[in-house]
Amino acid sequence: MTLTQRFPFRTLRGFAAAALFAAISAPAFAITFGTADGTGHPEVGSMVIKIPDQGVFQWCSGTLIAPQVFLTASHCTAPIAQYLADHPDWQFLVTFDPVIDTTGTTGTFYTGTPHTNPLYGTGGQNDPHDIAVITLDSAPALTPANLPTASLFDAMKADGTLNGTRFTAVGYGSTRDSMKKGPQGIDSSNVERQTVDQGFRFLTSAWLTFDMLPTGSNDSGGTCYGDSGGPHFLHVNGAETNIVAAITITGDTQCKSSDKDYRTDSPSARAFLGQFVTLP
């Protein structure tokens, strides 16, 4: 299986064309075999780029985990400094609006400071340390999500409860509503927060991997480009919680098969997050 980061599908040079495409395209159905979220997960937001005379464009997803701390992926924050150096008039912002205001005139946007994990990229695939936060300059009037306790999923695996556990992915990324198409079936024009439930596949020291096949017993969806940094919420006793089990990082290129996501309960994730939030 080829894995690719759930980073923005469209290039920066394609923003103007993408905005035009978005304006004339029919609304997308879902995150990936999912549904529009509406106000279901108000603590989940999007990183966006505001470009003068072009508008606002979706970049990555993320979650409020403290009054002024937005959790996302390091591969989302690492390029920011270079982009701003090259384009001083651009802005990277965070919004929690269910539908992103692409004009930048009526939406609610927050400024902040990105903090890329200094270990990002040093651990290879075993542990890429692909976790970051943005400390917001002001606090949204929202209830933050929670983080899991240390090594929660190792304990669940050991006691046999992890198999069969469901999770909910949320994000603003590209969409797919058909298994019959390749990459051309991916709609990159989405600006709406969306959600889908998914089943557990397997666990490693740094990764939680989820099914995203909507057929058969799997009955799952998943993420696609632009969902990077977004949460996968844990279900307990058959009900969704606000515990962020993992953040979207990568998956198969065609957004059809699986999500491979960075655990938030691991020692390395907690070592980074503990600098910004009080850990459970």
- What pLDDT, on a 0 to 100 scale, did the predictor assign at position 8? 58
218 confidence band (pLDDT: 50, 70, 90):
low
> pLDDT tens digit string along 132-171?
999 999 999 999 999 999 999 999 999 999 999 999 999 9
- What pLDDT, on a 0 to 100 scale, did the predictor assign at position 23? 32
For residue 60 the two structure tokens come to 């990555």
pLDDT score of 15 more than 70: no
102 contacts: CB under 8 Å, gap ≥ 6: 19, 22, 55, 56, 57, 191
pLDDT score of 53 more than 90: yes
Cα separations (Å) of 43 from 6, 46, 146, 157? 20, 10, 10, 28
- What pLDDT, on a 0 to 100 scale, did the predictor assign at position 161? 96
- 12-36 CB burial, b ≥16 within 10 A, e <16: beebeebbeebeeeeebbbbbbbeb
pLDDT (mean) for 264-279: 98
| Residue that has been written with the tokens 């930048």 in this structure | 104
pLDDT score of 173 more than 50: yes
Q: What percent of the chain has pLDDT over 90?
A: 71
For residue 134 the two structure tokens come to 């943005």
Give all domains of the chain, ordered by start, each with its CATH number: 1-18+29-274 (2.40.10.120)
211 confidence band (pLDDT: 50, 70, 90):
confident
pLDDT score of 82 more than 70: yes
Higher pLDDT residue, 219 or 96? 96
- Kindly report the average pLDDT of the chain as a whole number: 87
29 confidence band (pLDDT: 50, 70, 90):
very low
Report the predicted TM-score, pTM, of the whole model to 2 decimal places. Answer: 0.89
Nearest one of 226, 231, 218 to 258, comparing CA atoms: 218
Higher pLDDT residue, 49 or 257? 49
Amino acid sitting at position 19 = A
For residue 274 the two structure tokens come to 């503990």
pLDDT score of 201 more than 80: yes
Higher pLDDT residue, 18 or 78? 78
Burial of residue 131, with CB atoms counted within 10 A of its CB: 0-12 exposed, 13-18 middle, 19 or more buried: buried
Higher pLDDT residue, 115 or 217? 115
Q: For residues 51 and 108, give the distance between their C-alpha atoms in angstroms, rounded to a whole number.
A: 16
3 confidence band (pLDDT: 50, 70, 90):
low
